Amino acid sequence: MSKLPVITIDGPSGVGKGTISQLLARHLDWHFLDSGALYRLTALAARRRGIALEDSEAVGLLAAELAVRFEPVAQGEARVILDNQEVTNDIRTAQAGVDASVVAVHPSVRAALLQRQRDFAQPPGLVADGRDMGTTVFPQAQRKFFLTASARVRAERRYKQLIEKGLDANLAGLVEEIEQRDERDRNRSASPLRPADDAICIDTSEKGIEAVFAEVLAHCQDVVI
Ligand code: DC
């Protein structure tokens, strides 16, 4: 892998890594990889084509051929286009998140998405957000973070995000769903959710976005000179 600077931010669902990663990418004017979006897109494409999420071979082939574009916008999240159709909101539903963690179990899917994720590493640098960015996709990253927070705190944050986007949400259901998703993400055999040995771990339960961002940035000074 090249010397191109890469900063990875991993952690469980709803921990705030998306927000922190995007803030960091914008602050540095670097590229941004939302790897979860690729798993969400794979699951959405499978559902739309009537392919069972458990069918590892068919879903793996689908992941390899995914016709997807990310179109940056001035503020906020990039527009996501699948098969020439905008799916920005469709991949953000609670169901799409659960579906993503089901297809993410298949080694065929993870292998198909590996190079696609590495291709995001372009000058001047990349901030990569996910579950296995520091362990599998960018093991040579110059700086690795692993964010954590209690399931309850994460469910409350996700609830707020969904409501703000005008989507349906149920707090008790979200806590349960987050716990189940954690369980699946941590216990799968291919690239399970875990901190890289050289990751800096930050518990965000009691911290606001600004505080976490400041902490992350302080740890990146020597990487981004
Ligand atoms: O970050 P997210 O909520 O968009 O991710 C959705 C699911 O995708 C997550 O539950 C597991 C899977 N995922 C993964 O296995 N590896 C990644 N690098 C990113 C996401």
Structure tokens at 39: 């798993």
Largest Cα–Cα separation, the chain: 49
Q: What does the pLDDT read at residue 21?
A: 96
The pLDDT of 95-113, averaged and rounded, is: 95
In terms of pLDDT, which residue wins out, 191 or 62? 62
40-93 pLDDT tens trace: 999 999 999 999 999 999 999 999 999 999 998 877 778 999 999 999 999 988
Residues with CB under 6 A from ligand 1: 13, 35-36, 39-40, 97, 100-101, 104, 130-132, 181, 185
Give the CA-trace dihedral at 10, 11, 13, 16, to 10 degrees.
Answer: -80
Contact in structure between 5 and 16 (CB atoms under 8 Å) = no
Cβ neighbours of residue 38 closer than 8 Å, sequence gap 6 or more: 63, 66, 68, 113, 116, 117
pLDDT tier for residue 1 given thresholds of 50, 70 and 90: very low
120 HSE (CA, 13 A, CB side): 24
Kindly state the average pLDDT of the residues 195-208.
95
Q: How confident is the model at residue 104 (pLDDT cuts 50, 70, 90)?
A: very high
- Ligand 1 centroid to 192 CA: how many Å? 10
* 123 CA to centre of ligand 1 in angstroms: 25
Domain boundaries, the chain: 6-216
Question: In this predicted model, what pLDDT tens digit does every residue of 113-148 receive, in sequence order?
Answer: 999 999 999 999 999 999 999 999 999 999 999 999
Q: Which residue has the tokens 């959710």?
A: 193
Question: Which of 35, 106, 110, 174 should be mutated for ligand 1, with most atoms under 8 A from CB?
Answer: 35
**Three-state SS annotation for 98-119:** HHHHHHCCCHHHHHHHHHHHHC
* Separation of alpha carbons 146 and 46, rounded Å: 30
Task: Give the pLDDT of residue 139.
Answer: 97
**Which atom of ligand 1 approaches the CA of 98 most closely?**
10
Count of Cβ atoms closer than 10 Å to residue 140 Cβ: 11
Q: Which protein residue's CA is at the shortest distance from atom 2 of ligand 1? A: 36
Domain 6-216, architecture per CATH: 3-Layer(aba) Sandwich (3.40)
Stronger pLDDT, 185 or 39, i.e. the higher one:
39
What is the average per-residue pLDDT within 183-209? 92
pLDDT in tens, 12-49: 988 989 999 999 999 999 999 999 999 999 999 999 99
Please name the residue whose Cα sits nearest to atom 9 of ligand 1.
101
Which residue has the CA at smallest separation from atom 15 of ligand 1? 104
**Closest listed residue to residue 15, CA positions, set 131, 187, 183:** 131
- The two three-digit tokens of residue 173, written as one number: 């259901």
Q: Considering the entire predicted model, what is its pTM? A: 0.91
pLDDT digits (tens, 9 = 90+) for 154-172: 999 889 888 998 988 899 9
| pLDDT of res. 8 | 98
Question: pLDDT-based confidence at 224, cuts 50/70/90?
Answer: confident
